[in-house]
Structure formats: structure tokens, C-alpha cells
Structure 1
Amino acid sequence: MSKKRPLSFYLLAAFFGLFVLFLYGPFSAIFLLSLQGPEGQLTFPMRGFSFYWLGEVFQQQRVGDFVSAFQRSFLLGLLVMAITVALSVLAGMAFRSKFWGSNLIFYLTISSLIVPSILVSLGIGIVFSLLGIDNQWYSSALAGHLTWTLPFAFLIMVGVFNRFNPSYEEASRDLGANDSQTFWQILLPLIAPSLIGVGLFGFTLSYDEFTRTSLISGENNTLPLEIFGMTTNVTTPALYALGTLTTAFSFLLIGVAVAAFQLLSHRQEG
């Protein structure tokens, strides 16, 4: 006979259900309104059912351009992800041992999470202006996003390396491997699942970042800025359809990351 579950299990399950409803309940309205017919409006009741507005996202809008803004956000997210993963690994390896000034560098790194983001973006914009560099999504926006993603990734990698067993590296060196071979053939494969999480985290933080981008993106908007600018101008459910598509894209990224994580985990176990 199955063991009877305690009352606390049902209470926690109910709380979790309310939590999920709180997170995704408001989105359900966006999802439904994006599936209206061509005569659809911005509020209920729904006027027909079709995928018309999902297709309209890829067409020329009265105001703004969804496709170009998505491309800029996607490319910027990939750049931020690659740089974040590379620098966080190097920083994590450096902090495996104490060195002079390590505490100061540590606190300076995480202080970016405490400083108001609007001040960070203002400072970056001023510095780029003094250097004569135009504020663009691939330069100043990239710098602004890295001030947001690197501290998080750095803290994660410090935790990963604190739990890493150095005996693997010692065994590799005993077998004649040099430092480069030990890193690429032993250390990197072992921490690869963690790097997937760091990469996904960095990409998503950059992909939906608004505040740090608002003052330093130049004349070309990223997707969050384009959406914000169109909320006061768009009079069709195309904006709701964009929300549906970007949410589906986010779940797709999560699925790919989970599949890659499981694949690497199975290889390590094998």
C-alpha cells in the first residue's frame, strides 16, 4: 500500500500551484488575445480565432520593427553569453587560490549588482562619449550588459570551483598531461554542465534587459526597448502576438539547455 502523504504536502502543492498561477496567469490573457481574428482588438471579448496576428509580427508595422529589434537582441545576447562564459571561467580559476587584492577585486566585482542600473548606464554613456565612441547596441549596450551578467556568472563559477575536486587535475598531471591538456581534456568537460547554465543565464539577462540599455543603445533599439516604445503607439494585437512568440522562444532555449545539460551529464556518468 502506498504511504499516505502528510497534510504539509498538499499545502505546499497548493502554494506551488498558486505561485505558478501568479507567474503565468497574466500571460494567459496575452496569449489568448494574440489568437484573435483580423478584426481583433486590444481587450476582451475576443473577436474570432486565428493565427493572423502571429504572422503579422513578421510584417512591416505602423510604428517600429519587431524583426530587426529581435535580431539585435539575439546577436547581443550571443555576444554577452560568449564573453560572460569565457571571463567567468578565467575569473573563477583565478580565485581558486588567494592572491594580493583578491578580496578587493571580489567586492568591486559584485558591487555592480548593488549600484542602481540607471547610474551604470549613465556612466557608460559618458565614458563612451568622452572616448569618441558612438553609443550602439554592439558597443555601449554590450558593455552595459556585461556589468550585469559578469558579476552573477562570477559568483556562480566561484561556487563551482569551490566544489571542484582538484584530485582530477593532479591525476592528469601525474599521467604526464601539461596544464593546457588538463584544462581542455579534464577540467572543462567536468564543468561543462555548469557552463551551460551560466551561458543561458547570461543570454537571458541580456535578452530582456531594459534599464541598462535604455540610455546607451543609440538609435537602434533592442527588442525590450522596441516593445516599450510601441506600447504607446500600437493599436493592434500584434504586440500580444510578439509576446507569445518571444515566450515560446524562451521556452525553446530552456529546452535546448536542459537537453544539452542532460547529454553532458550522461557522458560524464558513462
Structure 2
Amino acid sequence: MQARVSDARAPGFWPLAIVFGLFVMFLYGPMLTIFVLSFQGPEGGLTFPLRGLSLHWFHALAAGLGTVDIAAAFRRSLLLGTVVMGFTVLLSLLAGLAFRKRLRGGDALFYVAIASLIMPSIIVSLGIGLQFRLVDTGVKAALSALGAEGTLEGYGSALGLLTSALGAHLTWTLPFGLLIMFAVFNRFDPSYEEAARDLGATPWQTFLHVVLPLIGPSVVGIGMFGFTLSWDEIARTSQAIGDVNTLPLELQGLTSTVTTPAIYALGTLTTVVSFLVMGVTAGLLAWLRKRQKRGRA
């Protein structure tokens, strides 16, 4: 009798389960709809019913969508996401190590570093774009004053994929990396480092062979955050990238011109890349856990 009472559902279980199910449907339903519609046949449209099953629209996407170079935009997004990931991991790790000690002005520096999270993304993008245009004006004025007419004619703009766009994306990804790394080091037991130093390890050996393996899963997670947040970022890129577009910007522009399921195929492609990155991250985390267990054994 006691077992039956303990196994009984609480009165609010099913209403809450229905609400949760509706939330999951609202969250992932549009994505699943795009996945399904992207695999339509040549006669497929932008809405249901589904007209056949094929890879026709993926082949159409590979052939190109009008004047838009999808392959080039894909490469630009991949390059930018990879560089942003590297900088996010490196700067977050260095900042986490630095903030383990009490720094003069450290609190103010921390709040400045994460302030961009609460600022509207489009304002950040506009500000960075304006800043680099001012740099362009200064550079051109200096070249003109120096009489370097040839250099002036060849000078385009400081706005670019790995300059202004990189900075704009770091204002979005770096605060997340910092918050994760600070949380990791707040829980980190310094006795491991003390034991390594007692055994004669140098500071670099202590970091490489003791600290880094212990925080490795968190570092991998920061890398995943850095790439995925950069991969689909639009607002912070729009005003800061100059005269080229990343894949999300091309996708946004195509929504008003492309009227075939090719736009869904492009959306499916970008989502698959995100899932692949998450899959690689999960694989690395599993490998790191196994390595840690073998080390303890």
C-alpha cells in the first residue's frame, strides 16, 4: 500500500507535463518543420503538404542561388567561427587564471568585460562599425598628409571579417567564456597544484599536466560556445563586417527573394553544422572523462 502511494503522480503532474510538451513543441517544432520541408521533391513549395522526397533542393543550393555565393559565405562563417572560438578559449582561460588572485580594479574590469551582454546587439554592431569608419577616416587623412597617394588609392577599409567582425563577435562570446571559467576556478582545489609544486614541478608543468587536464572539459565547452554563438550571429555582424556577408546574413537576405525550399535546405545545412560541432564537443568530453578515470586508476 505504501509503494502504491509513493508511485502515484502528484495532482499537478499531467498539467505541467502538457505545458512542458507544448513548450518543447514550440521550441523545436519550427526547426523540425524546416528539416522536413527541405527534403521535398522538385515540385515542393514553402508549406505543407509535402510533395515528394528527394535531395533536389540541396543540389539546387550547391549550384547557387542567383548571384549569392553560398560557398564563399559558408567559408567566411567557418573561418570567423573558428577564429572566434580560438580567441574566446585563449582569453577566457588567461582571464580565469589572472582573476584567481585579487586584482586592483578587478571588479570594475569584470563588469566592463560582461557589460556587452546587456547591451542591444545592434547598438554594439553600430558602435563598432562607426569606430572602424573613424579609423578609416584617420588613416586616409594621414596617408593624404604624407603624400602616399598610391597607398591611399589601394586602401579600402579597416572593416572586415577578421577585424571589426571578429571584435563584434568577441563582445558576444567572450563574456560567456569568462563566466564559465570564473565558475570553474571558483570550484578548483588548489591542493593539486601545491602537490605538484612539492614534487618539483615548474609553474608551466603544473599548468600543463595538472590544471589543464582538470579544467579540460570546461575549456572544450567554452570552445563550443564560442563557435556556435559566432556561427549564427546576425545582429552584431550586420553593421561591422564591411562589404562581405557571413552565411547567416546571406540567409536573412534570401528570405525575401528566394521562394523555393532551397532556403529551407540552407537552414538545414547551417543547423547540421551546429549539431556536428556539438557532437564533436560531446566526443571530446567523453574522451577527456575516460582519460581522467584512467589517470586516477
Decide: shared fold, TM above 0.5: yes
Q: Report deviation, 1:32.
A: 2.1
User: Which residue in 2 is equivalent to 1:244?
Assistant: 268
- Provide the secondary structure at the position in 1 that maps to 2:291: helix
**Distance (Å, rounded) in 2 between the aligned partners of 1:138 and 1:245:** 23
| Residue in structure 1 matching 2:228, options 204, 219, 231 | 204
Q: Report deviation, 1:237.
A: 0.9
- Provide the secondary structure at the position in 2 that maps to 1:131: helix
User: Which residue in 2 is equivalent to 1:140?
Assistant: 164
What is the identity, as a one-letter code, of the residue corresponding to 1:161? F
User: Which residue in 1 is equivalent to 2:281?
Assistant: 257
TM-score with structure 1 length normalisation? 0.94
What is the identity, as a one-letter code, of the residue corresponding to 2:212? L
Using the TM superposition, name which of 110-119 and 150-159 deviates more: 110-119
User: Which residue in 2 is equivalent to 1:87?
Assistant: 91
User: Which residue in 2 is equivalent to 1:184?
Assistant: 208
User: Which residue in 2 is equivalent to 1:73?
Assistant: 77
User: Which residue in 2 is equivalent to 1:36?
Assistant: 40
**Distance (Å, rounded) in 2 between the aligned partners of 1:137 and 1:4:** 58
Q: Report deviation, 1:214.
A: 0.3
Q: Deviations over 1:192-232 (max 9, x none)?
A: 00011111011111011110100011111001100011111
**Distance (Å, rounded) in 2 between the aligned partners of 1:201 and 1:164:** 21
Q: Report deviation, 1:98.
A: 0.9
Using the TM superposition, name which of 137-146 and 10-19 deviates more: 10-19
**Distance (Å, rounded) in 1 between the aligned partners of 2:251 and 2:239:** 16
| Residue in structure 2 matching 1:223, options 247, 251, 275 | 247
**Distance (Å, rounded) in 1 between the aligned partners of 2:221 and 2:15:** 31
**Distance (Å, rounded) in 2 between the aligned partners of 1:157 and 1:262:** 20
User: Which residue in 2 is equivalent to 1:46?
Assistant: 50
- Aligned residue-pair number: 270
Q: Report deviation, 1:10.
A: 5.1
RMSD: 1.8
Q: Report deviation, 1:186.
A: 0.8
- Percent of pairs with identical residues: 56
CA contact (8 A) 1:153 1:198 kept: yes
Q: Deviations over 1:225-269 (max 9, x none)?
A: 000111111122101111122222222221111111111012112
What is the identity, as a one-letter code, of the residue corresponding to 1:73? S
**Distance (Å, rounded) in 2 between the aligned partners of 1:150 and 1:88:** 7
User: Which residue in 2 is equivalent to 1:153?
Assistant: 177
Q: Is 2:48 the partner of 1:24?
A: no
TM-score with structure 2 length normalisation? 0.86
Using the TM superposition, name which of 69-78 and 21-30 deviates more: 21-30
| Residue in structure 2 matching 1:112, options 112, 116, 123 | 116
Using the TM superposition, name which of 181-190 and 108-117 deviates more: 108-117
Q: Is 2:88 the partner of 1:64?
A: no
**Distance (Å, rounded) in 2 between the aligned partners of 1:27 and 1:168:** 45
- Measured at CA, do residues 240 and 259 of structure 1 come closer, stay the same or move farther in structure 2, by a change above 3 Å? same
**Distance (Å, rounded) in 1 between the aligned partners of 2:19 and 2:273:** 28
What is the identity, as a one-letter code, of the residue corresponding to 1:243? G
CA contact (8 A) 1:80 1:142 kept: yes
- Measured at CA, do residues 39 and 63 of structure 1 come closer, stay the same or move farther in structure 2, by a change above 3 Å? farther
**Distance (Å, rounded) in 1 between the aligned partners of 2:187 and 2:120:** 32
- Measured at CA, do residues 159 and 119 of structure 1 come closer, stay the same or move farther in structure 2, by a change above 3 Å? same
Using the TM superposition, name which of 170-179 and 29-38 deviates more: 29-38
**Distance (Å, rounded) in 2 between the aligned partners of 1:184 and 1:21:** 45
User: Which residue in 2 is equivalent to 1:6?
Assistant: 9
**Distance (Å, rounded) in 1 between the aligned partners of 2:9 and 2:282:** 31
What is the identity, as a one-letter code, of the residue corresponding to 2:164? S
Larger Rg: 2
Q: Report deviation, 1:117.
A: 1.7
| Residue in structure 2 matching 1:97, options 92, 97, 101 | 101
What is the identity, as a one-letter code, of the residue corresponding to 1:166? P
CA contact (8 A) 2:84 2:169 kept: yes
